[in-house]
């Protein structure tokens, strides 16, 4: 009896010791990648050689990898090495990351504008985005952008942007509408910091010059016909990102808060504060459906100025409405659409979508009650198609047709590369 009891307690002790022994990572191996460097994958991963093996950490690393432009899909495998150590394999399916960009939009007023660009989203195999664009919207514009979100580790990054945007902008006066040639030439420097794979911030400064030149339309003694103003903009962004991706499908919630303070050198365009928040929610519906939503809420210093910062534009917020048809010092816009996959091959996808874009604006110098004014409300339902290449980053060619159902509405097509939101 004594020997049986001793054997029993010995087996219990042996089992407890083996079961309670912690597991560690012997090595992190990366396979399947061609242009994305393995050293970069290890740099941004929280799983490191010698650390404890934790499935939660591995799951987070995979989500972070799937958010990279260079990665179309990723998963991990764990294999026993020796003693209590294991090898972790990160398996990468790469995207082609030299990506053309195109946005085209028209209305039934025969308006036509486009933006074309070319970007490399995996420069040097380190997830650095670099490229530029050319825009034709009556006048010529261009820009150059560099964004490196992971410089030393998975927390610290930098972004540099230069652009010269020239457009014909309506300025809404009591006497009527004036048309101005508007140019904005800017240089921006941003520092990027990620607390973890869900929370990140960016902050920086933009130096820019705004140039307004009267073209035609109504005039007012209180509004100059020529105006050149140097400005300094301080910018902050906080992002909570809990999205997960499976090829063309997206699930989860994301919130992006932007705040800017602008200092001007001319009293005609006074200093102002502006903020807005984009809330995005995506849900898988069955095997082939995806419900996508974006809500933008924003306010700016409520100056009674014809140069209000929020605009109504079919390439930004309401499809089919036209090119900058109104301005305001506050905005509420809801975009909701249902995407359904009709064709899903190993490299090619065809989606259809039905959407409703609706928004309202606060008039410059107005009240919050302006959001409920019928004159400020736009509602545009519509339908569209998506043609997606699964192995090229952001290679989604979209075409949407929006039809206004509110008073004095227009209708029109909006073409572009990438989902609308």
pLDDT per residue as tens digits for the range 143-195: 999 999 999 889 999 999 999 999 888 887 888 889 999 999 999 999 999 99
For residues 391 and 274, which has the higher predicted lDDT (pLDDT)?
Answer: 274
The arithmetic mean of pLDDT across residues 288-311, rounded, is 91
Task: Say what percent of the chain tops pLDDT 70.
Answer: 94
Whole-number mean pLDDT of the chain?
90
Give the whole-angstrom CA distance, residue 24 versus residue 88: 10
The arithmetic mean of pLDDT across residues 367-376, rounded, is 91
- Residue 49's Cα: distance from chain center in Å? 33
The fold of the 98-417 domain, in CATH, is Porin (2.40.160)
pLDDT per residue as tens digits for the range 186-221: 999 999 999 998 999 999 999 999 999 999 999 988
pLDDT at 17: 41
The arithmetic mean of pLDDT across residues 80-105, rounded, is 91
Q: At 228, list the tokens.
A: 């050149």
Residue 106 has pLDDT above 90, yes or no: no
pLDDT at 113: 82
CA distances from 23 to 75, 85, 199 (A): 20, 6, 28
pLDDT at 222: 80
Q: What is the pTM of this model?
A: 0.81
Task: Say what percent of the chain tops pLDDT 90.
Answer: 72
Name the residue ranges covered by the structural domains of the chain: 2-94, 98-417
pLDDT at 19: 46
Other Cβ atoms less than 10 A from the Cβ of 299: the count is 17
The arithmetic mean of pLDDT across residues 290-307, rounded, is 91
pLDDT at 10: 40
Other Cβ atoms less than 10 A from the Cβ of 320: the count is 25
pLDDT per residue as tens digits for the range 8-51: 444 444 344 444 578 999 999 999 999 999 999 999 999 999 99
Instruction: Grade residue 97 by pLDDT with cuts at 50, 70 and 90.
Output: very high
pLDDT at 7: 44
Give the whole-angstrom CA distance, residue 95 versus residue 72: 5
For residues 175 and 388, which has the higher predicted lDDT (pLDDT)?
Answer: 388
pLDDT at 307: 73
Least reliable range by pLDDT among 25-29, 275-279, 406-410: 406-410
Dihedrals phi, psi of 370, to nearest 5 degrees: -60, -25
Residue 421 has pLDDT above 70, yes or no: yes
pLDDT at 282: 98
pLDDT per residue as tens digits for the range 230-253: 999 999 999 999 999 999 999 999
**The 3-state secondary structure of the chain, one letter per residue:** CHHHHHHHHHHHHHHHHHHHCCCEEEEEEEECCCCCCHHHHHHHCCCCCCCECCHHHHHHHHHHHHCCCCEEEEEEEEEEEECCEEEEEEEEEECECEEEEEEEEECCCCCEEEEEEEEEEEECCCCEEEEEEEEEECEEEEEEEEEECCCCCCCEEEEEEEEEEEEEEEEEECCEEEEEEEEEEEEEEEEEEECCCCEEEEEEEEEEEEEEEEEEECCECCECCEEEEEEEEEEEEEEEEEEEEECCEEEEEEEEEEEEEEEECCCCCCCEEEEEEEEEEEEEECCCEEEEEEEEEEEECCCCCCCCCEEECCCCCCCCCCCCCEEECEEEEEEEEEEEEEEECCCEEEEEEEEEEEEEEECCCCCHHHHHCHHHCEEEEEEEEEEEECCECCCEEEEEEEECCCCCCCEEEEEEECCCC
So what's the architecture of 2-94 in CATH? Roll (3.10)
């Amino acid at each position: 009896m004594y020997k049986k009891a001793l054997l029993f307690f010995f087996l219990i002790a042996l089992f407890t010791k083996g079961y309670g022994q912690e597991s560690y990572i012997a090595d992190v191996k990366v396979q399947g990648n061609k242009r994305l460097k393995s050293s970069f994958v290890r740099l941004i991963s929280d799983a490191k050689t010698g650390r404890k093996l934790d499935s939660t950490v591995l799951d987070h690393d995979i989500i972070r990898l799937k958010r990279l432009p260079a990665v179309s899909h990723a998963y991990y495998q764990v294999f026993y090495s020796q003693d209590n150590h294991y090898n972790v394999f990160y398996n990468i399916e790469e995207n082609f990351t030299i990506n053309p960009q195109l946005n085209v939009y028209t209305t039934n007023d025969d308006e036509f504008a486009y933006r074309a660009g070319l970007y490399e989203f995996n420069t040097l195999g380190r997830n650095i985005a670099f490229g530029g664009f050319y825009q034709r919207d009556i006048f010529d514009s261009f820009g150059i952008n560099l964004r490196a979100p992971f410089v030393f580790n998975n927390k610290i990054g930098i972004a540099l942007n230069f652009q010269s945007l020239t457009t014909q902008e309506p300025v809404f006066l009591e006497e009527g509408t004036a048309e101005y040639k508007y140019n904005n030439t800017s240089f921006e420097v941003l520092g990027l910091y990620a607390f973890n794979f869900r929370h990140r911030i960016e902050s920086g400064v933009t130096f820019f010059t705004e140039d307004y030149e009267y073209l035609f339309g109504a005039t007012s003694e209180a509004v100059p016909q020529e105006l050149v103003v140097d400005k300094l903009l301080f910018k902050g962004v906080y992002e909570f990102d809990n999205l997960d991706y499976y090829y063309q499908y997206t699930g989860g919630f994301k919130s992006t808060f932007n705040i800017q303070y602008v200092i001007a050198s001319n009293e005609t365009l006074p200093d102002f504060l502006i903020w807005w928040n984009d809330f995005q929610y995506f849900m898988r519906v069955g095997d082939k459906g995806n419900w996508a939503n974006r809500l933008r809420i924003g306010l700016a210093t409520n100056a009674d100025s014809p140069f209000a910062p929020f605009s109504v534009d079919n390439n930004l917020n309401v499809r089919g409405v036209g090119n900058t048809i109104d301005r305001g010092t506050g905005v509420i816009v809801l975009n909701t659409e249902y995407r359904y996959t009709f064709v899903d091959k190993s490299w090619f996808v065809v989606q259809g979508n039905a959407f409703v874009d609706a928004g309202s604006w606060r008039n410059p110098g107005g009240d919050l009650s302006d959001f409920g004014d019928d004159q400020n409300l736009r509602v545009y339902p519509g339908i569209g198609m998506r043609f997606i290449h699964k192995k090229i980053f952001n290679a989604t060619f979209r075409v949407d047709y929006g039809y206004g159902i509110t008073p004095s509405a227009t209708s029109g097509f909006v073409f572009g590369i990438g989902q609308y939101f």
